Amino acid sequence: MPVTININGVDHSIDATPDTPLLWALRDSLELTGTKFGCGMALCGACTVHVDGAPVRSCTTPISTVAGKKVTTIEGIGTKEAKAVQAAWEQHAVAQCGYCQSGQIMSAAALLQSNPRPSDEDIDQAMSGNICRCATYVRIRAAIKSAAASLA
C-alpha cells in the first residue's frame, strides 16, 4: 500500500514498505540525495530534514509516521532563515568534505526559526546532534551568528 507524503510542497506516492525510513524513501525512491546517510541510528544528524517545520532525523523516521505531513529537504528549503544560513555558510567557507553539511544547515535553519539570536551555548546545544568529522564547528558557530545578524 503506497504511502503519500508531501515533500517540498508536492505530494508523492511512495511504493515502499511502511517501515522504510524516510531517508531511504527520499534517496532511493525520489532521488533526493542531498539528505545524507551517516549512521542509521539518529546519532549523527546527516539525515536531518524538517517535518512540519521541525528538525527530524529521517534515518529513523518510518514513512508511515509522516503520511500527510509536510517534509522539507535541503533541495526544497526556502525560508529566509535557511537562505541566510546557506549564504553565511558560503561566506565563512564552512564546508570541507561537505557530507554532513545538508544536515548541519537544516538544523541551523530550524534553530534560527525558533531562536533568532542564539548564544554560543544555544548553538552548541542545538547543533550537538550533528557530527562533522572535518570538525568545521568553529565556522558553524560563526556562520550561524552571521546568519542571525543578517536577519536582524
Partner 1 sequence: MLQLKPAAPTSRRDFLKAIGIAGAGLTIGVSLSPLEAATEVARGSKTKPGNPFVPNAFIRINPDNTINVVIKHLEMGQGTYTGLATLVAEELDADWNQIIAEGAPADASRYNNLLMGPTQGTGGSTAIANSFEQMRKAGAAAKAMLVAAAASRWDVPPASIGTAGGVARHEPSGRSASYGELSALAAEQPVPDPQSLTLKDPKDFRYIGKSMSRKDIGKTDGTALFTQDVKMEGMLTALVLHPPRFGAKVKAVRDQRTRDSRGVVDVVQIPGGVAVLATDFWSAKKGRDLLEVDWDESGAARRGSADLLEEYRALAVKPGQVARNDGDAGKALSGAARVIEATYEFPYLAHATMEPMNCVVKVGENSCEIWNGAQLHTVDQAMVASVLGIADTDVRINTLYAGGSFGRRANPHSDYVVEAAHIARTKRGTPVKLVWTREDDTRAGYFRPMYVHRIRGALDADGNPIAWEQRVVGQSILKGTLFEQFIENNLDTSSVEGASTLPYGIPNLRVDLHTVDPGIPVQWWRSVGHTHTAYSTETFIDQLAAAANRDPVEFRMALLKEHPRHLGVLKLAAEKANWGSAMPEGHARGIAVHESFNSFVAEVAEVSLQGDGSFKVERVVCAVDCGMAVNPDIIVAQMESGIGYGLSPLLMSEITLDDGRVVQSNFHDYQVLRINQMPSVEVHIVPSAEPPTGVGEPGTPPIAPAVANALFAATGKAFHRLPLRMDEGVPG
Binding residues for partner 1, per CB under 8 A? 16-17, 20-21, 24, 27-29, 31-41, 43-44, 46, 73-75, 86, 89-90, 93-102, 105, 123-125, 127-141
Q: How far is the CB of 33 from partner 1 (least distance, A)?
A: 4
Q: How far is the CB of 78 from partner 1 (least distance, A)?
A: 11
Paired residues of 24 in beta bridges? none
Pairing relation of β-strands 48-51 and 3-7?
unpaired
- Comparison of 27 and 50: residue with beta carbon closer to partner 1: 27
Pick from 133, 138, 56: nearest CA to 93: 138
Pick from 35, 38, 80: nearest CA to 55: 35
- Comparison of 29 and 150: residue with beta carbon closer to partner 1: 29
Contact 106, 50 (CB under 8 A): yes
Whole-Å CA distances, 8 to 74, 80, 115: 9, 15, 23
- Comparison of 37 and 70: residue with beta carbon closer to partner 1: 37
- Comparison of 46 and 71: residue with beta carbon closer to partner 1: 46
Q: How far is the CB of 11 from partner 1 (least distance, A)?
A: 21
